[in-house]
Structure 1
Amino acid sequence: MLRHVGPTTATVWVETDAPCDVRIRVDGGAVHAARTFTVHGHHYAVCEIDGLPTGAVLPYEVFLGEDRVWPEPDNSLPPSVLRTLCPQAPTRLLYGSCRAPTGDTPEGLVRYGPDMLRASARRLAREGFDSADENLVLLLIGDQVYADEVQEPMRAFLRRVRRTDSGDDASGDDAPEDEVVRYDEYAELYRQAWSDPQVRWLLSTVPTLMVFDDHDIRDDWNTSAAWRRGMDERPWWRTRVTSGLGAYWVYQHVGNLSPDARAEDPLWAAVRDHRERGADAGDTLDSFAWRAHEEPSSYRWSHRHDVGGVRILVADTRCNRALGEGDPSDGSRSILGSEGHDWLDENLTGGPEHIVVASTVPVLLPPPVHHLEAWNEAVCGGAWGAAARGPAERLRQALDLEHWGAFQYSFHRLADALLDVARGGRGPAPATVLLLSGDVHFSYLARARARAGGGTTSRVTQLVSSALCNQLPPNFRRAAALSASWPFHLAGLVMTRLAGVRRSPLSWRLAGRPHFGNTIGEVAFDGREAEARWYHCPQGGGEALPEVHRRARV
Structure 2
Amino acid sequence: MTTSLRLGPLLRHVGTSTATVWVETDAPCDVGIRVSGCGVRTSRTLTVHGHHYAVCEIEDLRPGATLPYEVLLDGIRVWPEADSDDDLPPAVLRTLDEKAPTRLLYGSCRTPTEEGSAEEAERHGPDLLRATARRLAREEVEGNLVLLLIGDQVYADELREPMRAFLRRVRERDRDGAPEDEVVHYDEYAELYRQAWSDPLVRRLLATVPTLMVFDDHDVRDDWNTSAAWCRSMDALPWWRTRATSGLGAYWIYQHVGNLSPAARAEDPLWAALCEHRDRGTDAADTLDSFASRAHDDPSSYRWSHRYDVGGVRVLMLDTRCGRALGEGDPSDGSRSILGAEGHDWLDEHLTGGPEHVVVASTVPVLLPPAVQHLEAWNEAVCAGAWGRAARGPGERLRQALDLEHWGAFQYSLHRLSDAISEVARGERGPAPATVLILSGDVHFSYAARVRLRTAGEDGSRVTQLVSSALCNRLSPVMRRVAALSAGAPFHLAGAIMSLAAGVRRPSLTWRLTDRPYFDNTIGEVDFDGRGAHARWYHCPGGENGAPPRVRSVLEL
Same fold? TM cut 0.5: yes
Match of 1:347 in 2: 350
Take 1:542 and 1:247, find their aligned partners in 2: how far apart are those partners? 33
Following TM superposition, by how much is the alpha carbon of 1:545 offset from its aligned partner in structure 2, in angstroms? 1.4
Take 1:453 and 1:543, find their aligned partners in 2: how far apart are those partners? 47
1:196-345 paired onto structure 2 within 5 Å? 196-345=199-348
Counterpart residue type for residue 135 of structure 1 = N
Take 1:144 and 1:227, find their aligned partners in 2: how far apart are those partners? 23
Following TM superposition, by how much is the alpha carbon of 1:544 offset from its aligned partner in structure 2, in angstroms? 2.6
Distance 1:200 1:220, change over 3 A: same
For the pair 1:8 / 2:17, whether they are aligned, the reply is yes
Contact 1:449 1:456 in 2 (8 A): no
Following TM superposition, by how much is the alpha carbon of 1:446 offset from its aligned partner in structure 2, in angstroms? 0.3
Match of 1:553 in 2: 556
Q: Kindly report the root-mean-square deviation, in angstroms, between the aligned alpha carbons of the 2 structures.
A: 0.9
Residues 282-315 of structure 1: per-residue CA shift (max 9 Å, x gap): 1100000010010000000000010011000000
Contact 1:419 1:456 in 2 (8 A): no
Match of 2:136 in 1: 124
Which of 44, 51, 56 aligns to 2:65? It is: 56
For the pair 1:540 / 2:543, whether they are aligned, the reply is yes
Contact 1:350 1:426 in 2 (8 A): yes
Match of 1:194 in 2: 197
Q: How many residues align?
A: 545
Following TM superposition, by how much is the alpha carbon of 1:451 offset from its aligned partner in structure 2, in angstroms? 2.9
Match of 2:374 in 1: 371
Contact 1:423 1:455 in 2 (8 A): no
Following TM superposition, by how much is the alpha carbon of 1:456 offset from its aligned partner in structure 2, in angstroms? 5.9
Match of 1:66 in 2: 75
Counterpart residue type for residue 447 of structure 1 = R
Contact 2:151 2:441 in 1 (8 A): yes
Take 1:445 and 1:160, find their aligned partners in 2: how far apart are those partners? 45
Take 1:481 and 1:214, find their aligned partners in 2: how far apart are those partners? 23
Counterpart residue type for residue 52 of structure 1 = L
Contact 2:29 2:44 in 1 (8 A): yes
Match of 2:7 in 1: none
Which of 449, 466, 472 aligns to 2:475? It is: 472
Contact 1:373 1:406 in 2 (8 A): yes
* Moved beyond 4 Å, runs of 4+: 452-456
Residues 224-260 of structure 1: per-residue CA shift (max 9 Å, x gap): 0000000000000011000000000000000000000
Counterpart residue type for residue 104 of structure 2 = L
Which of 92, 100, 122 aligns to 1:110? It is: 122
For the pair 1:400 / 2:403, whether they are aligned, the reply is yes
Following TM superposition, by how much is the alpha carbon of 1:484 offset from its aligned partner in structure 2, in angstroms? 1.2
Counterpart residue type for residue 216 of structure 1 = D
Which of 138, 145, 155 aligns to 2:154? It is: 145
Counterpart residue type for residue 112 of structure 1 = H
SS at match of 2:138: helix
Match of 1:530 in 2: 533
SS at match of 1:447: strand
Take 1:454 and 1:311, find their aligned partners in 2: how far apart are those partners? 23
Residues 419-444 of structure 1: per-residue CA shift (max 9 Å, x gap): 00000000000000000000000000
Following TM superposition, by how much is the alpha carbon of 1:383 offset from its aligned partner in structure 2, in angstroms? 0.4
Match of 2:98 in 1: 87
Counterpart residue type for residue 140 of structure 1 = L
Give the structure-2-normalised TM-score: 0.97
Counterpart residue type for residue 102 of structure 2 = T
Following TM superposition, by how much is the alpha carbon of 1:541 offset from its aligned partner in structure 2, in angstroms? 2.8
Take 2:335 and 2:21, find their aligned partners in 1: how far apart are those partners? 40
Following TM superposition, by how much is the alpha carbon of 1:29 offset from its aligned partner in structure 2, in angstroms? 4.0
Following TM superposition, by how much is the alpha carbon of 1:503 offset from its aligned partner in structure 2, in angstroms? 1.1
Following TM superposition, by how much is the alpha carbon of 1:75 offset from its aligned partner in structure 2, in angstroms? 1.2
Counterpart residue type for residue 509 of structure 1 = R
User: For structure 2, which runs of at least 5 residues remain unmatched after alignment?
Assistant: 1-9
Contact 2:422 2:456 in 1 (8 A): no
Take 2:387 and 2:458, find their aligned partners in 1: how far apart are those partners? 36
Take 1:103 and 1:93, find their aligned partners in 2: how far apart are those partners? 27
SS at match of 1:512: coil
User: For structure 1, which runs of at least 5 residues remain unmatched after alignment?
Assistant: 164-169
Take 1:367 and 1:80, find their aligned partners in 2: how far apart are those partners? 44
Contact 2:425 2:456 in 1 (8 A): no
Counterpart residue type for residue 256 of structure 1 = N
Residues 89-118 of structure 1: per-residue CA shift (max 9 Å, x gap): 000000000000002321111000000000
For the pair 1:482 / 2:485, whether they are aligned, the reply is yes
Take 1:148 and 1:286, find their aligned partners in 2: how far apart are those partners? 20
Take 1:456 and 1:298, find their aligned partners in 2: how far apart are those partners? 40
For the pair 1:96 / 2:104, whether they are aligned, the reply is no
Take 1:252 and 1:381, find their aligned partners in 2: how far apart are those partners? 35
SS at match of 1:69: strand
Contact 2:127 2:544 in 1 (8 A): no
SS at match of 1:449: strand
Contact 1:450 1:456 in 2 (8 A): no
Counterpart residue type for residue 111 of structure 1 = R
Contact 1:451 1:504 in 2 (8 A): no
Match of 2:55 in 1: 46
Contact 2:12 2:258 in 1 (8 A): yes
Give the structure-1-normalised TM-score: 0.97
Counterpart residue type for residue 551 of structure 2 = V
Residues 359-397 of structure 1: per-residue CA shift (max 9 Å, x gap): 000001111110000000000011000000000000000
1:439-458 paired onto structure 2 within 5 Å? 439-452=442-455, 457-458=460-461
Percent identity, aligned pairs only? 76
